[in-house]
Amino acid sequence: MVKLIALYKQPEDRAAFDDYYFNTHAPITKEITGLLDMKVTKIVGSPMGGESDFYLLCEMFYDSHESLKAGLKSDEGKASGKDLMGFAGNLVTLMIGEDVDEQ
């Protein structure tokens, strides 16, 4: 299993970010070819106490690196990427990860 991970810093206006993210961006992203599942986590703090530098984490799951690449190159993937850069390009860090089987 391969996942694309989007980690968002704290937005200036959380309510506006949430409205746009959940009502506009997430529905576009959910249409990406090959996307198996999408899990969103709101960061609520840190173990050391206080507010985290991060606000939201989104994990998008794919069968393989090939299906991830194909999804990102699809029309839906391009639309999601363009939308992301338009509303949160200065807040987001994107990473690719692989699940690890623990022995």
Does 78 reside within a domain?
yes
Cα distance between residue 36 and residue 44, in whole Å: 26
Domain span at 39: 2-98
Q: Give 67's pLDDT tier (boundaries 50, 70, 90).
A: very high
CATH number of the structural domain spanning residue 77: 3.30.70.100
Provide the number of structural domains found in the chain: 1
Residue 83 lies in a domain: yes
What's the pLDDT score for residue 49? 84
Residue 103 belongs to a domain: no
Is-contact 18 40, C-beta < 8 A?
no
Query: Does residue 87 register a pLDDT over 80?
Result: yes
Q: Which helix (H) or strand (E) holds 83?
A: helix 75-88
83 token code pair:
């939308």
Sheet holding 54-62, edge to edge: 37-42, 54-62, 2-9, 92-98
Angle, in degrees to the nearest 10, between helices 65-73 and 75-88: 70
- pTM of the shown model: 0.92
